[in-house]
Structures are given as structure tokens and as C-alpha cells.
Amino acid sequence: MSKIPLKRVFKISLLVWTGIFVLFVVGAIRKLLPMKVFGIPLLAVLAAAFLLFLAAWILYFRHLMKCEEEGRSAFGLFLIGTVHRYRFLIEQLVSRDFKIKYKRSVLGIFWSFLNPLLMMLVQYVVFSHLLNIRGDVRHYAIYLLSGIVIWNGFNDCSTQAMRSITGNATLITKVYVPKYIYPVTKVCSAFINTLLSMIPLLLVTAVYGLFSDPHLFLNETVLLLPFGLFFLLIFNIGMGFLLSSLMVFFHDVEFLWGVFSTIWMYATPIIYSLSMFESRAGWLVTLMQFNPLYHYISFFRTVILDGASPAFAEYGICALCSALMFTLGFIVFKKTQDRFVLYL
């Protein structure tokens, strides 16, 4: 086992934090500028908070380095150590899944672009022209496409991750590898697809925007998309933990999930818009607040269709959903993982 390059991790982490801060500030600049807290510009408060955070981070890393020198254990060290130790395996498993997915298809990776586009096209024709569900939604094609991309991202990840433990049964009973690696790598490899399908979404938006009335332009808020994607990723990993561990004990979960995810899909405003129900069924709008997918999809739509940063409360809600899902999944997984091998 090679030594943990703590210094390098530290440098990278500083870069990442700064990157996150810059992305947020630049992306939400129009919302941030006029805001004030107790008379002080919000921007200044944020900058100060960020500097404080960085200082705390540096202190924490000093503590970790000291711990490492003295051979003491610390949670942070343990975490960095495991990721460092298994990073090669994680890399290999993710690239395997990704290679396998399109290995024998002619168009290969282009399916990641084509698939959501074709889905959007079909649904656009059906719901916009044949059934006329679009209501008063502006830019319905983009509205639909963003919903499809995010929903597919969630559905792909959770379905793949669900089978990650049972699918690797031969490995788990033969070699010791921390088991959480399997669902996490599955979610990651499926998530790469989601990232790829963001490309046609942005492209279509850019092209469509030129011909639409009123014009629709992508602007600096695009920089906020990584936040939405990150929340979604964490949510997916949590869901993957939960489903994969349940799946070991009850294979029925696979079929139940098929039904349940379909219900969930129709309960999420992908093809319809909530504004249709505001007058008829207000309770539905209230209920929708408890659907995490609604919040994620809204996040993306606000950024792409309105060209504005979501309300700051919306960040909080998305982060909270992700954190709750992750914690729930992680606890279930941790409690049951020692018994996996007995049931595989």
C-alpha cells in the first residue's frame, strides 16, 4: 500500500473549494448583487464566509498531517485513505461499465446523446400535438427534454445500482473489496451518461433559442448546473445503497421498483407542468413539494429555461433531500452489508 499523498489531496481540495465558490458567485451574480444582509452586501458576507471556511479547512488538514506523522487515526485520514487505496479499482470498474454499455453497438457513445433526443421527439409529438397537454408551458420541447434527461439520469442510476450487489455475487463471495464500491461505481458510470446527455440538452437549447419567440438564451447561470448535478448524484448514490441492499434479501424489489418508478415518473412534472393544477387541485402542488425529483428538475429548468438562479431556499431543499437520501441509504447498507454474502 502506497503512502497517502496528503499534500496533493490538500492542494486539489483547495482548488475544488475555490472552483465551487467561483462557479456559484459567477453563476448567481445577478441574484447576489442586489441582496443585502443587515445592510452589508451579500457578496461580501459570502466572501468572508468562504475565507473563514478555507482557514478552517487549512487548520483541519494541518491536524490530519500531524495525525499521520504521529500514526494516530482520524476519520478524515481514514476516508482519504480508503478512496486513495481503492481509486484504481473504482476507476477500473467505472470504465468497465462504461465500455461494456456500448461495446457492441455501432453508434456507441452517440446513443448517450441520441437516446434522450429521440425520447423527447416522440413525447413532444404525442403530448404537444396529439394530446395537447403542454398547456401554457413555454419552450415545451426544452421543458420536456430537461425533464427527460434528469429523470433518466435518476432512473438509470438507481436501476443499475440496484443490481450492483446481486450482479457481482461471484466477486463478493470470492474477494474482499469494500462492498459500497459496487453501488457507488455503478451510479458513477451511469451518471457519466447523464453528464453526456447534458450536452444535447444545452445544444438543443442554444439552437432552439435562436428560433424561438421570445428568445431563449443560455447565460452565465449555466455555471450553476454542476450544483444540481452534484445534488442529483448524491441522491442517486443514496438510492443505490438502499435498493442494492434490499435487493440482496428480496429479489422482488426489482419488480416492485419497476412499478414504483413508473408511478414516480408520472408523479413528477416531466411532461406536464404544475401550473395546470394550481386552480384545480392545489393540494397536488403542496404534495409535490415532497417529491425530491420535482425539486431537482425544477432546479435545472429554472437555470435553463428562465436563465436565472433558483431561489436560495431551493438549494437548501435539494441539498437536504440529497443528504437525507444518502444517510438513509448508507445506514441501511452499512447495517446489512455483513449479511450480504450469506444471501448471495
Contacts with other proteins, residue ranges (CB under 8 A)? 1-2, 88-89, 91-93, 96, 99-100, 103-104, 170-177, 250-253, 256, 338, 341-342
Question: Least CB distance from residue 82 to other proteins, whole Å?
Answer: 12
Of residues 3 and 129, the one with the C-beta less far from other proteins? 3
Burial class for 179, CB neighbours closer than 10 Å (0-12, 13-18, 19+): buried
Distance CA 134, CA 148 (A): 15
| C-alpha cell read off for 207 | 439552437
Instruction: For other proteins, give the closer residue by CB, 11 or 96.
Output: 96
250 vs 266, beta carbon nearer other proteins: 250
Least distance to other proteins from the beta carbon of 320, Å? 30
Whose Cβ is closer to other proteins: residue 86's or residue 151's?
86
User: Cβ of residue 101: shortest distance to other proteins, in angstroms?
Assistant: 10
Helix or strand (DSSP H, E) at 197: helix 181-211
Please report how close the Cβ of residue 260 comes to other proteins at its closest, in angstroms.
13
Residue 104 or 129: which CB sits closer to other proteins?
Answer: 104
Considering the complex, state which of residue 37 and residue 89 has its C-beta at the smaller distance from other proteins: 89
For residues 75 and 81, give the distance between their C-alpha atoms in angstroms, rounded to a whole number: 10
CB-wise, 53 or 260, nearer to other proteins? 260
266, burial (CB in 10 Å: exposed 0-12, middle 13-18, buried 19+) = exposed
Complex with other proteins: residue 78 or 250, whichever CB lies closer: 250
Angle at alpha carbon of residue 15, lines to 10 and 19, rounded to 5° = 145
Q: How far is the CB of 143 from other proteins (least distance, A)?
A: 38
CB of 100 to other proteins, least distance (A): 5
Please choose, from the candidates 231, 190, 198, the residue with its C-alpha nearest in 3D space to the C-alpha of residue 317: 231
Instruction: Using the minimum distance from each CB to other proteins, give the nearer residue, 33 or 331.
Output: 331
For residue 214, whether the previous peptide bond is cis, meaning omega lies within 30 degrees of 0, is yes
- Please give the Cα distance from 316 to 134 (Å, whole number): 29
Residue 61, burial from CB neighbour count under 10 angstroms (0-12, 13-18, 19+): middle
What distance in Å separates the CA atoms of residue 87 and residue 79, rounded to the nearest whole number?
12
Min. distance of Cβ 254 from other proteins in angstroms?
11
b/e for 185-217, b at 16 or more Cβ within 10 A? bbbbbbbbbbebbbebbeebbeeebeeeeeebe
* C-alpha cell belonging to residue 236: 442517486
Kindly state the smallest distance separating residue 92's Cβ from other proteins, in Å: 4
* Shortest Cβ 94–other proteins spacing (Å): 11
User: What phi and psi values does residue 109 have, to the nearest 5 degrees?
Assistant: -65, -20
Instruction: Please give the distance of CA 233 from its chain centroid, rounded to a whole number.
Output: 3
